[in-house]
């Protein structure tokens, strides 16, 4: 375990030091203040720091703080503002766009010769298509991003600061050096500070220094911004804000580090590679057939190659999926779920197990003391036990239990009347109790009262602790559990010496308080909905096992629950489960849970192949929230929980999470439907026009394919708001299934066009029904007819892929329907009336347009049966596969190892609002941090601890 940074007490008096420094605080610059060679704010005596910062334990006035904001700046790291121009251009910077850009270069630079000018029409069209895609993606994503950021701003970190002599709650960004702040259990320290008053304080600095355990802090010690209070309460003086903090300086050095690719980016990379690979095969085939076999002229062959390049590339795919996620995040925010990591939407759709905290999530977290049911173990009466327990409660900064106890008194002022509090030990997750040492003013005697978890108080009570008392206590606790009550034990002892730290007479159990935390009115219904969605809800609570079981039975969750201690006692598994993994998987919940248990439960479930969501609100939940696939901070969660979460709820209860599940699955279905569709169209285009070239030497105009792509992409943008049914089971990307559907659909659509062409060419069927014949295979009117046939049936495919049953049983969104109708009206008008000699098309008339519509409708109807047949084949194949070995992943998800180039497909699907906390200290010390230029950064522990502004500036200068 590494040594935590500790403040050193300066031996000299403050007056001597000021004389030695010879500095005028009024003229001191920010650069001088944080120059390690001039002032060491970490080790100076607090009194000297007061003089340098011109402040004191009473804090600053509002006027002073306002002036210092101008001097020191806000207490936050500089935001990485995305340049709007670069964000716009990023939609053109991916392999799919590169292929289209290459097609544009081919059109303007290579498609010439033989006395013909360059194909500037296709060039202009391709450029407009690229710009149009970028404009739509930029507009939707930027708008959705701003909406989510505005909601997150309402959840900005808060802190308690003393201004004008009064304690106020304000945004941490408004802190300045010299402010006095108050921190307590669960708070994230908002700025680098020096302790003024410390009451049994322990700080978790793991995210900064790699410290594995919380570190105790005393008055004069420094605490770092971004560390978490694990125990106790304190007042501290701010000495550094923003970039002039330990966290800020380290963050500025690793700002260029590569964080890896998201899961969805990898999926897009594989889909994009599938499309490019398919196009590449037929491009090579056409080159050999056209030039080596048919001896095509250069320009004629280039036009056919352009058809494959332009028509086969799903240029809108990154934009459509990016817009779908962006709009999805906005829709989730409207349902009280703020996404802080955009890729969490896709992962939320695949969650199979939800580990939920009980208090405040499944229940109301509004505790009430049942005074009529208080159990007594001494001469004290019920009201006396209640009063003594109120002595051991906070009257300020109360938690839920303290609030319920003090609130149960006839007058809350009684909690401090007639006594003088000498020492108060606040609740902490380790001891699980509070303790007060007080002087009774009526007789000037000193006493101690402790209240807390039953087992802890029982172990603490050494006086009059008979077997009969222990049996009575256990019986009463069991009775409370059967009634759904929480038990809170109370013990007392006298201190004959009258000293705060004096030896007591020994604690004696005097009472047991029944506390009731009723379930939320909608929790049972919500859990039933989760089960219907294929999500198993497990209760993970620190409460006693009996209480957890009673709550589980009441909510219909089941009562197969165990104490978390069994996870480390394999000898107790006999007759329960064959392994700890099996136990964790089968259990409905665990009680008596500590932070390490929550983390282990999540980790074991993930190792079994499950996607795990974890809800929490307190500092104890933060490790598990960070470990879970989707960490969910419930309403009113602590800053520590929010910072570790992927989704922040703004409405209390579990129902909001279920709504988030449903909407994430809707978003997933939209993305999956589009993925199948766009891969199918790629196969359809490259196979159709290649076969027509091979079999009939049919030369389709590139400009018509470009129009097809433009109209098609414009229509597909509306899929981001399509009305789809969420799946009844958790979702996962099965790319083999998607590619299989794409190949079958694509070949079916190709067959419809090839047979249509054969009927036109080899028979007089259409001519016998009023349609004019064609002079040759490359009649300009035939180009128009084939264009309409490809356009209608290809775009109609989306209505098949978007539905789980027959296409007419699931109504599409109005936007999608209107876009389809408008697109095909345009396509029909082109076929009927267009007379564009430059692109080799001539209007074919209404007879041919009607014939094409009838032909495509006839071929469209069997598509649903093709879908059903494919589903049966895929299901049969899945059943035929041998079952996975015990412990093998049961969720079919592609590797989480980033594919090379994956980031190019979706550059805007990165963490949008709050990137997860990174262990800067650990990464710097191990040399795993790299600058944008590829240089490695490595610092030893002492150097990292002593990091200051001057050193950071020097390092940046050297690296540059």
Please identify every residue annotated as catalytic: 357
Exposure letters 734-749 (e unless 16+ CB within 10 A, then b) = beebbbbbbbbbbbbb
- Phi, psi for residue 422 in degrees, rounded to 5: -95, -35
DSSP state of 594: -
DSSP state of 350: T
Which residues sit opposite 865 in a β-bridge? none
- Phi, psi for residue 952 in degrees, rounded to 5: -65, -45
Strands 353-356 and 612-616: parallel
Strands 936-937 and 647-649: unpaired
Which residues sit opposite 215 in a β-bridge? 203
> Closest Cα to residue 591, out of 624, 549, 622, 632?
549
DSSP state of 325: H
Cβ atoms of 121 and 839 within 8 Å: the answer is: yes
Helices marked H in 415-519 = 454-460, 467-482
DSSP state of 520: P
> Closest Cα to residue 327, out of 145, 93, 194?
145
- Phi, psi for residue 499 in degrees, rounded to 5: -95, 150
Distance set, CA 124 to CA 128, 129, 496, 699, 798 (Å): 6, 9, 94, 21, 28
Cβ atoms of 175 and 190 within 8 Å: the answer is: yes
Q: Number of C-alpha atoms within 13 angstroms, CB side, residue 506?
A: 8
Size of the chain in residues: 960
> Which contiguous run of DSSP H or E holds residue 563?
strand 561-563
Separation between Cα atoms, residue 473 and residue 547, nearest integer Å:
15
Rounded to the nearest 5 degrees, what angle is found at the Cα of 495, between the Cα atoms of 491 and 496? 140
Query: Residue 40 region, left (φ>0) first, then alpha (ψ -120 to 50), else beta?
Result: beta
Query: Residue 934 region, left (φ>0) first, then alpha (ψ -120 to 50), else beta?
Result: left
Exposure letters 381-420 (e unless 16+ CB within 10 A, then b) = eeeebbbbbbbbbbeeeebebbbbbbebbeeeebbeeebe
């Amino acid at each position: 375990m590494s040594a935590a940074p500790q403040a050193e007490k300066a031996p000299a008096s403050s007056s001597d030091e000021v004389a030695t420094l010879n500095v005028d605080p009024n003229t001191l610059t920010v650069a001088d203040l944080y120059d390690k060679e001039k002032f060491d704010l970490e080790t100076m005596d607090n009194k000297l720091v007061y003089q340098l910062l011109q402040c004191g334990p009473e804090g600053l006035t509002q006027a002073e703080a306002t002036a210092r904001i101008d001097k020191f700046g806000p207490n936050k790291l500089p935001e990485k503002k995305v340049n709007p121009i670069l964000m716009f251009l990023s939609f053109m910077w991916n392999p799919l766009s590169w292929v289209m850009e290459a097609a544009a270069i081919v059109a303007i630079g290579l498609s010439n010769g033989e006395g013909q000018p360059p194909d500037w029409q296709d060039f202009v069209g391709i450029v407009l298509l690229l710009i149009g895609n970028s404009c739509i993606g930029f507009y939707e994503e930027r708008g959705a991003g701003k909406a989510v950021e505005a909601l997150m701003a309402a959840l900005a970190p808060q802190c308690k600061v003393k201004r004008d002599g009064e304690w106020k709650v304000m945004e941490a960004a408004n802190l300045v050096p010299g402010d006095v702040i108050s921190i307590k259990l669960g708070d994230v320290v908002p700025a680098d500070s020096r302790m003024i008053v410390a009451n049994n304080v322990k700080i978790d600095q793991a995210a900064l220094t790699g410290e594995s355990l919380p570190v105790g802090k005393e008055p004069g010690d420094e605490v770092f911004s971004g560390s978490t209070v694990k125990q106790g309460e304190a007042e501290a003086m701010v000495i550094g804000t923003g970039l002039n903090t330990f966290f800020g300086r380290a963050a500025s050095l690793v700002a260029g580090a590569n964080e890896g690719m998201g899961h969805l980016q990898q999926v897009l990379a594989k889909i994009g590679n599938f499309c490019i690979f398919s196009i590449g095969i037929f491009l090579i085939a056409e080159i050999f057939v056209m030039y080596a076999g048919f001896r095509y002229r250069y320009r004629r062959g280039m036009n056919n190659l352009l058809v494959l390049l332009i028509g086969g590339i799903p240029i809108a795919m990154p934009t459509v999926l990016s817009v779908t996620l962006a709009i999805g995040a906005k829709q989730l925010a409207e349902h009280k779920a703020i996404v802080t990591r955009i890729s969490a939407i896709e992962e939320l759709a695949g969650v199979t197990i939800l580990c939920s905290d009980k208090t405040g999530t499944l229940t109301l977290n509004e505790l009430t003391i049942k005074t009529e049911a208080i159990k007594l173990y001494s001469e004290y009466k019920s009201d006396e036990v209640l009063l003594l327990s109120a002595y051991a409660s906070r009257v300020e900064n109360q938690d839920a239990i303290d609030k319920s106890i003090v609130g149960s008194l006839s007058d809350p002022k009684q909690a401090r009347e007639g006594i003088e509090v000498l020492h108060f030990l606040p609740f902490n997750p380790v001891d699980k109790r509070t303790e007060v040492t007080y002087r009774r003013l009526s007789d000037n005697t000193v006493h101690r009262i402790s209240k807390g978890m039953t087992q802890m108080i029982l172990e603490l009570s050494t006086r009059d602790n008979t077997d009969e008392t222990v049996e009575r206590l256990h019986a009463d606790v069991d009775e409370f559990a059967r009634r759904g009550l929480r038990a809170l034990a109370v013990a007392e002892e006298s201190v004959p010496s009258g000293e705060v730290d004096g030896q007591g007479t020994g604690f004696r159990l005097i009472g047991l308080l029944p506390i009731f935390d009723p379930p939320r009115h909608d929790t049972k219904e919500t859990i039933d909905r989760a089960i219907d969605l294929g999500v198993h809800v497990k209760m993970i609570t620190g409460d006693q096992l009996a209480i957890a079981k009673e709550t589980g039975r009441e909510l219909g969750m089941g009562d197969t629950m165990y104490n978390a201690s069994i996870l480390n006692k394999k000898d107790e598994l006999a007759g329960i489960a064959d392994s700890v993994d099996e136990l964790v998987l089968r259990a409905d919940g665990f009680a008596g849970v500590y932070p390490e248990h929550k983390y282990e439960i999540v980790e074991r479930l993930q190792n079994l192949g499950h996607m795990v969501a974890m809800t929490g609100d307190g500092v104890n939940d933060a490790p598990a929230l960070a470990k879970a696939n989707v960490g969910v901070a419930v309403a009113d969660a602590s800053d520590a929980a929010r910072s570790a979460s992927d989704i922040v709820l703004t409405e209390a209860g579990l129902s909001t999470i279920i709504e988030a599940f449903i909407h994430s699955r809707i978003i997933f279905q939209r993305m999956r439907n589009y993925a199948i569709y766009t891969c199918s169209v790629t196969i359809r285009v490259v196979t159709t026009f290649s076969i027509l070239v091979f079999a009939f030497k049919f030369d389709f105009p590139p400009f018509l394919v470009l129009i097809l792509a433009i109209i098609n992409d414009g229509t597909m943008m509306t899929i981001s708001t399509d009305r789809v049914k969420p799946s009844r089971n958790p979702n996962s990307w099965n790319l083999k299934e998607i590619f299989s559907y794409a190949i079958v659909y694509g070949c079916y659509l190709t067959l419809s066009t090839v047979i249509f062409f054969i009927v036109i060419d080899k028979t007089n069927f259409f001519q016998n029904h009023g349609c004019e014949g064609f002079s040759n295979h490359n009649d300009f009117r035939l180009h128009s007819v084939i264009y309409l046939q490809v356009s209608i049936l290809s775009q109609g495919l989306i209505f098949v892929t978007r539905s789980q049953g027959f296409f007419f049983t699931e109504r599409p969104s109005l936007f999608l329907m209107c876009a389809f109708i408008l697109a095909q009206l345009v396509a029909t008008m082109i076929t009927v009336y267009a007379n564009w000699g430059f692109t080799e098309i001539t209007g074919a008339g209404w007879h041919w347009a009607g014939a094409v519509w009838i032909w495509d409708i006839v071929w469209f109807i069997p598509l649903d049966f093709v879908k059903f047949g494919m589903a049966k084949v895929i299901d049969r194949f899945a059943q035929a596969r041998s079952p996975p070995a015990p412990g093998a992943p049961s969720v079919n998800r592609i590797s989480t190892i980033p594919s090379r180039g994956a980031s190019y497909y979706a550059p805007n699907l990165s963490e949008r609002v709050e990137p997860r906390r990174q262990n800067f200290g650990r990464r710097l010390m191990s040399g795993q941090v790299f600058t944008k230029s590829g240089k490695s950064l490595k610092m030893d522990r002492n150097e990292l601890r002593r990091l200051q502004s001057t050193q950071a500036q020097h390092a940046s200068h050297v690296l540059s």
